[in-house]
Structure 1
Amino acid sequence: MEVILLERIAKLGQMGQTVKVRDGYARNYLLPAGKALRANAANKARFEAERSVLEARNLERKNEAQEVADVLAGKSFIAVRAAGETGQLYGSVAARDVIEILAAEGFNISRNQVVLNAPIKTVGVHEVEIHLHAEVEITIELNVARTTEEAERQAKGEDLTSAEAIYGVDEDALRPEDFFNPDADYDIEDEQEEASAEGEEAGEEEDDK
């Protein structure tokens, strides 16, 4: 379907341009959201008659979006989620979660403004893009942690998924042989027999007393 854009749409075109889009995209988003008109003679005439009003409205929305962007700039938000020792979440943080977190801080952001290509599935400090307007974009930090205390540690640069954080050891100092030595002559039966012999010797010493 061909439509006339009533505002700039990223990766699609500028206000006033006639572009071809998928029918579903036009019917389900562009047209009902008031971002485009069907491309026909009547709507082209309508657009030209209302161009100055549309441009003024777009400028107003852009300025409003920029004000929100100025407040959001440099902010970090915390998402507390259950996760294992390695940092893998027992679920995920999706765009709807980002919306709820921002709403709790007083920011009214819609689903289509959050750019999250895939749900977040690990603890850590993640960057999330927010498109407040076709010409106003900002990136926020989402600090995903098991507790607020861990979030504070992550904010200071600590990696909670490192071996040092999990096991209390310096992972840079670990060697493969610290975990498993393929050349070692290890036999569980020998170890059991040795333990048994030590026990018998201890018993004999006790009897001698």
Structure 2
Amino acid sequence: MEVILLERIAKLGQMGETVKVRDGFARNYLLPLGKALRANEANKKRFEAERATLEARNVERRSEAQKIADVLNGKSFVVVRAAGETGQLYGSVAARDVAEVLAAEGFNVGRNQIVLNTPIKSIGLHKVELALHAEVEASVELNVARSAEEAARQAKGETLTSADAIYGVDEDALRPEDFFDPEADRDGDEE
């Protein structure tokens, strides 16, 4: 199906371009969300008549997104989750959780604007990209920890998932001989 784009869409095209897309993508995403019109003569005339309004609205949205990006870029947010001793989370941190953390701090970012290819499943510092507008991106840091105290330690650069941090043991000092005796009789018979 051919559509006329009403705004810039990443990996597809600029505003005003006529592009060919799959029918399902057009029917289920582009047309219902008002991001495109079917490419026919009536809609082409309608687009040309509304072009100035659409471009002005796009500039306004981009400037609003840029203001939010300027504030958000480089900020760090703490997410407290339950995790095992190895640092593996019992659940995960998904885009919905990131949106809730940002909303709690006063930033209105939709979860569809959060670029998180896979959920976060371990404690630590994680970079998360935000696509606030087709032309504006920001990056925030999530400090995923078991407690606020642990998050503060991670922010200072401490590693909390190594054997040294968890057990107070130097991993380099561990040797197999410390755990078993190679000279011991394995079958239990005394000779």
Taking structure 2 as the reference length, what is the TM-score of the superposition?
Answer: 0.92
Give the Å deviation of 1:33. Answer: 1.7
Query: 2:100 — aligned with what?
Result: 100
- SS state of the match for residue 184, structure 1? coil
Q: Read off the aligned partner of 2:183 and give its amino acid letter.
A: A
Query: 2:16 — aligned with what?
Result: 16
CA distance in structure 2 between the aligned counterparts of 1:188 and 1:81, rounded to whole angstroms: 46
Q: Read off the aligned partner of 1:112 and give its amino acid letter.
A: N
Query: 1:207 — aligned with what?
Result: none
Q: Read off the aligned partner of 1:118 and give its amino acid letter.
A: T
Deviations 1:120-175 (A, max 9, x none): 11111111110000000111111111001111111111111011111101223333
CA distance in structure 2 between the aligned counterparts of 1:79 and 1:165, rounded to whole angstroms: 20
Query: 1:25 — aligned with what?
Result: 25
CA distance in structure 2 between the aligned counterparts of 1:114 and 1:160, rounded to whole angstroms: 26
CA distance in structure 1 between the aligned counterparts of 2:183 and 2:69, rounded to whole angstroms: 61
Sequence identity, in percent? 77
CA distance in structure 2 between the aligned counterparts of 1:151 and 1:73, rounded to whole angstroms: 20
Match runs of 1:15-54 below 5 Å:
15-54=15-54
Cα RMSD (Å): 1.8
Structure 2 residue runs of 5 or longer lacking an equivalent are none
Compared CA separation, residues 108 and 186, structure 1 to 2 (3 A): farther
Compared CA separation, residues 180 and 127, structure 1 to 2 (3 A): farther
Structure 1 residue runs of 5 or longer lacking an equivalent are 194-209
More helix per residue: 1 or 2?
A: 1
Tell me which structure has the larger Cα radius of gyration: 1
- SS state of the match for residue 172, structure 1? helix
**How many residues in Structure 1 have an aligned counterpart in Structure 2?**
190
